[in-house]
Amino acid sequence: MTSDKVKIQKPHFTGILTHEYKEELFNYLLSNLKLKLDDNQLLLLRKAYNMAFKAHENQIRKVSKEPYIVHPVEVALIVANEMGLDFIAVLAAILHDVLEDSELFSYDSIKKEFGEPVALTVDGVTKMTKVGGKARADVKDNKINEKLETFKKLILSISKEYRVILIKIADRLHNMRTMEGMPEEKQKAKSAENLYVYAKFAEAVGMYDIKIEMEDLSFKYLYPEEYKKIINEIEENQPFRDIFLEDLKIDIYRILAQETNYNFTIKRIRNSYYSIWDKLSKNPHLSVDQIYNYESLRVVVDIEDRRLSDVVFNLFVKITDYYPMRPNSFRDWVRNPKNNGFRALVFDIVYRHHKTTGYIPQLAEIQIMSRQDDIVARKGANFERLKNSIVPKSDDESITEFINRVLSQLNTEYIYVFTPAGELHQLPKGATVIDFAFKIHTEIGLHCLGAKIQGVGSKPPTYKLRSGDVVEVLHSQNKTPDIEWLNKVVTDKARRELTAFFKKNKLLQNIEHNTRKIQPKFTSNLPIIIDGTFDFKIADCCSPLPGEPAVAVQDEKGNIIIHRNDCADLAFHASVSPSGVAQVEWLIKEISYDISIEAMDRLGLLKDILDIISSNLQLNISQIHMDIDKEEKLVKGLITVRMQQNGLNEKAEPACIAETPEEEKNCANKQLHTLIDNLKQIEGIIDVHVKIHHEK
């Protein structure tokens, strides 16, 4: 067996491929490989290295100016050290480009020297490599293009040997790490494929560390300006996040150390920069600091599997004894693991942190898992699921059905469609032909007639696409958008371009209002128009009145909640909202108010109240409900009245209930103020409160 190793650095290449360099590079591989090898394995590793060195000895990588042999060596290290794969995978990784780059060796020669599993894996990676890149074919004679056929074949090859896709992921990861200096076009092409395909495969088997790195590197090359912006915003917010999470980590550590006897550690984990940008793209009213689970705290406990459930639940109870859990945030992936093998208790707590927020409540995501599950969460484990997901259901399953099923299992948020030339595009689930047309080009979207799917028929512009569809957009300069498209599209670009078109051509007045009559959406920079065409709720914490500066947030059930701009709890509610925050425009012409009255019971009380409401102020009463406590001689009443808002608009001054003469000068809603003031003057009235009325 190999003994404990002293890691050595990768040798410097002087421009001449010498025997000394060859030996130094092998020693670099051996010293950094996190596998213990017996003598036979060491011999096989040397043979595989020599074969790869011979196959690539005349190749120099264009960008790094290193011998090509460095690439398979680095891929082998990724496979072993970062993925935790076996020795067969290491051998296949070293040999993964031999069949493609050299005629000196064949499938049979690899099988003879290293066995069938290694040969099958190398052959599978070779076929997968040939599919990528610039393969193009047209849809002709109602046949699905050649690239899709080959794409299906390569996916099916994974079911025979799962190491194929994992080595290809490692191959792509190393290429991404060394892509500086490549032509921009090639950077973007490789990044798109990595982001939309290979990162999804990594996620499917639980390789989150690799998934995050691939997403971030792809994001960097695909959207460089957006990448820089996100990095800058994260760096600006990092001091706050560091203090907040480090103090919370110390507090939780102290609680668990004092109240349990478990061995545990607590660490910070983060999502990818790409995932933040993706969330912000869907919710433009959110800011980076409102994405509270960009970083989470993970409690990793040393415990055997048979006691795992009891222990993690015990830790959960100890933490939530001190910090309230956000409602509906509990996710039990210990007893019901994710498909990719992820097991943990995950929940959000409310933490009041005086150093950074002055005790304003903030959310933090907590994960509790075992040491072994932490390794699985980072390196992955569920290779059997990957194999099973890509076995065809039946012989007559079409290519598009097959691809749709596989990709849907890998990711539930997106669909993946192809152009007739075989270019892959990612879209949100529910995307239509219109969304795809605008993604290709604004002019194609504005003049979209529909699309051919799989090269046949003609689907309407509002047709919802599926993963695996080959979409040929049909368009004509004589065609213009239909207003109903606004209620069908799901992408920001399509909605933005359509809105601009309708405004420019004056085909629709107040387009913002119409897009929200069916269901208001927090998907653009437009305000939420409160015009009586949809239901909303007034926040109990600040009770804004029409005309007051206000914002809307959306709760997990989709309810729209209106807060005053200066609400003390707004930061908390904004951080909880899954859809972000939008400014409010009050356009309600008539509104009902619930007037809550508490008074001492006496003869003629109700008559005096009604005289003020109906006779003096001439307001319409919708309903009256009075409860009388005869023992305490107390009356609690609820009276609903309707008021005209007299053209209240975005320029209206804040409505308010004045308590001092100075405040009264600032009141816009004089009628409401007068009503409350007059009611308070009635004999026996103890208190009066007002809220906007909502139908139950």
* Overall average pLDDT of the 634-642 stretch: 83
User: CATH number, domain at 447?
Assistant: 3.10.20.30
Residue of 600, 554, 549 whose CA lies nearest to 576: 554
Same domain, 201 and 234: no
User: CATH number, domain at 155?
Assistant: 1.10.3210.10
Residue of 215, 244, 241 whose CA lies nearest to 227: 215
pLDDT tens digits, one per residue of 86-115: 899 999 999 999 998 888 899 999 999 999
Q: Which two tokens stand for residue 316?
A: 């959960």
Number of domains in the chain: 5
In the listed set 504, 537, 562, which residue is the last one of a domain according to the structure? 504
Same domain, 619 and 636: yes
% of the chain at pLDDT higher than 90: 26
Same domain, 87 and 72: yes
pLDDT tens digits, one per residue of 176-217: 999 888 888 888 888 888 887 788 778 877 788 999 999 999
In the listed set 327, 360, 379, which residue is the last one of a domain according to the structure? 379
Q: Which two tokens stand for residue 295?
A: 């970083």
616 three-state secondary structure: helix
pLDDT exceeds 60 at position 448:
yes
Same domain, 526 and 473: no
* Overall average pLDDT of the 585-597 stretch: 73
pLDDT tens digits, one per residue of 327-344: 778 888 888 787 677 889
Residue 398 maps to a domain? no
Q: Any idea which of 139-143, 149-153, 155-159, 304-308 has the lowest mean pLDDT?
A: 139-143
DSSP-assigned letters across all residues of 207-271:
-HHHHHHHHHHHHHHHSHHHHHHHHHHHHHHHHHHHHHHHHHHHHHHHHHHHH----EEEEEEE-
Which pLDDT score is estimated for 256?
A: 95
Same domain, 573 and 600: no
657 three-state secondary structure: coil
Residue 40 maps to a domain? yes
Residue 219 maps to a domain? no
Same domain, 564 and 632: no
Same domain, 538 and 635: no
Same domain, 228 and 198: no
Residue 238 maps to a domain? yes
pLDDT exceeds 70 at position 133:
no
Same domain, 187 and 309: no
Residue 662 maps to a domain? yes
30 three-state secondary structure: helix
Cα separation, 642 vs 307, in Å, equals 61
pLDDT exceeds 70 at position 384:
no
Contact 51, 119 (CB under 8 A): no
Same domain, 251 and 348: yes
- List the Cα angle 100/104/108 in 5-degree steps: 80
585 three-state secondary structure: strand
pLDDT exceeds 90 at position 605:
no
Going across the sheet that includes 590-600, the strands are 620-629, 634-644, 590-600, 685-692
pLDDT exceeds 50 at position 364:
yes
User: CATH number, domain at 629?
Assistant: 3.30.70.260
Residue 390 maps to a domain? no
Which pLDDT score is estimated for 24?
A: 94
Residue 256 maps to a domain? yes
Which pLDDT score is estimated for 148?
A: 58
In the listed set 504, 531, 549, which residue is the last one of a domain according to the structure? 504
Same domain, 34 and 129: yes
Same domain, 232 and 369: yes
User: CATH number, domain at 268?
Assistant: 3.30.460.10
Between residues 506 and 348, which one has the greater pLDDT? 348
- pLDDT band at residue 405 under the 50/70/90 scheme: low
On whether the pTM is more than 0.75, the answer is no
Between residues 148 and 136, which one has the greater pLDDT? 148
pLDDT exceeds 50 at position 671:
yes
- Amino acid identity for residue 233 in this structure: E
Looking only at the bridges linking them, the beta strands covering 528-530 and 581-586 are: parallel
- pLDDT band at residue 495 under the 50/70/90 scheme: confident
Contact 695, 632 (CB under 8 A): no
Q: Any idea which of 39-43, 111-115, 396-400, 680-684 has the lowest mean pLDDT?
A: 396-400
Cα separation, 129 vs 96, in Å, equals 10
The whole domain housing 553 covers 511-586
The neighbour count for residue 678, using CB atoms within 10 Å, is 18
Q: Is 356 exposed, middle or buried (0-12, 13-18, 19+ CB in 10 A)?
A: middle
pLDDT exceeds 60 at position 137:
no
pLDDT tens digits, one per residue of 523-543: 445 677 776 666 677 776 666
Residue 404 maps to a domain? no
Residue of 521, 491, 366, 327 whose CA lies nearest to 417: 491
Which pLDDT score is estimated for 214?
A: 94
pLDDT tens digits, one per residue of 317-330: 899 888 888 877 88
